[in-house]
A = this chain, B = another copy of it.
Amino acid sequence: MDHFRVGIDGGGTRCRAAVAGAEGRILGRGISGAANILTDPETALVHIRLATEAAFQEAGLPVSGLSSATAVLGLAGNNVADAVSFIAARLPFAKAEIVSDVLIALQGALGDRDGAVASLGTGTVYSIRQQGTVSMLGGHGFKVGDLGSGARLGQGLLQEALLAHDGIRPASPLTETVLAEFGHAPAAIIAFAHTAHPADYGRYAPSVFSAAAVGDPVAVDLVRTAARHIDQTLDAIVARDVRTLCLVGGLAPLYRPWLTERPGIEILDPTADALTGAVALAVQRFASDPSPAQMEAAQ
């Protein structure tokens, strides 16, 4: 019997797992809670196991199969060696590789093609594959990067609401809505910002796009500025002779009408999601692996 391949897409809010046969067909999927290997590695390990067990159960497979499975895990924080070695030593799989969450998203979106993927969500990050070599661009987090991200859009909206409250910049229906939500009290917005994580700001992003679509001037300015940042990055990518772009993430469809047209550049719809990308990588990386029975015999 050949062993199973597992793909993991672990993030700050949830962990997804999928189990597949040696040829890559997904047999079952599972989901659990946060898998942040930097802030809470113990919980991440628990959720990686729970999501995988759920995937095996959905596939009608015995969970004892985990220990002979090979896995690729796409995890943010994969560049922090201490966190990775802590996790790697404690995984329930026969063999596993921990890669960037960006890499599994790229694999899912493009399959094996060359091109670039713009991930436009709470954060922003760009990945490029050229002749099989993957590089990354942008990102760098909310505090000094992630331009055009949902978090930055939301932060910009709260800032504009305060400026409108003070009569420094023009109010709009959207700034009025935000101020009303906070009881027209700047102190309430400041208190929110004091503890807000990027995702908390990001929850305002859809309302910025909705308002921009009906011409709210503050929203239009915010979206135009954010789209200009994304366009600058896409320009830098195209200047590297990339001819295929793929936009993924929750804000991708919202940004499409605001971005510059690029004649001669193919805009690809994503082939699959990051979880499917993790499974595909697991199939590739462990293609020539012996079955668990052979491994035991060799020891």
| Further 19 A-B residue pairs, CB within 8 A, beyond A141-B193, A144-B162, A145-B159 | A79-B187, A137-B166, A137-B167, A137-B168, A138-B168, A140-B189, A140-B190, A141-B194, A143-B155, A143-B190, A144-B155, A144-B190, A144-B193, A145-B162, A145-B190, A147-B159, A166-B233, A168-B233, A169-B232
Whether the Cβ atoms of B137 and A194 lie closer than 8 Å is no
Interface 1/0 per residue, A109-145 and B, CB below 8 Å: 0000000000000000000000000000110110111
A32-62 vs B, Cβ < 8 Å mask (1 yes, 0 no) = 0000000000000000000000000000000
Check A168/B79 contact, CB under 8 A, given A144-B155, A190-B140, A194-B143: no
Q: Is A180 an interface residue (CB 8 A)?
A: no
- A245 within 8 A of partner (CB): no
User: With an 8 A cutoff between CB atoms, is A282 at the interface?
Assistant: no
Residue pair B140, A186 in contact (C-beta under 8 Å): yes
* Closest chain B CB from A120 CB (angstroms): 15
Determine whether A265 belongs to the interface, using a CB cutoff of 8 Å to chain B. no
Asked whether A158 is an interface residue with its Cβ less than 8 Å from the other chain, the reply is: yes
- Min CB distance A189 to B, Å, is 6
19 interchain pairs, CB-CB under 8 A: A140-B162, A140-B189, A140-B190, A141-B190, A143-B194, A143-B196, A144-B155, A144-B158, A144-B159, A144-B162, A144-B189, A145-B159, A145-B162, A145-B190, A147-B163, A166-B236, A167-B239, A168-B233, A169-B232
CA gap between A232 and B162 in the complex, in Å: 14
Q: Interface digits, A87-124 against B, CB 8 Å rule (1 contact, 0 not)?
A: 00000000000000000000000000000000000000
Interface residues in A157-204 (C-beta closer than 8 Å to B): 158-159, 162-163, 166-169, 186-187, 189-190, 193-194, 196
Q: Which residues of B contact A166 (CB under 8 A)?
A: 137-138, 233, 236
- CA of A239 to CA of B168, assembled, Å: 10
Which residues of B are found within 8 Å of A137, using beta-carbon distances? Answer: 166-168
A192-226 at interface with B (beta carbon < 8 Å): 193-194, 196
A239 contacts which chain B residues (CB < 8 A)?
A: 167
A236 in contact with B168 given A79-B187, A187-B79 (CB within 8 Å):
yes
* A236 contacts across to B, CB distance below 8 A: 166-168
Q: How far does the Cβ of A147 sit from chain B's closest Cβ, in whole Å?
A: 8
Return chain B residues, CB-CB under 8 Å to A232: 168-169
A190 to B79, CA, bound (A): 13
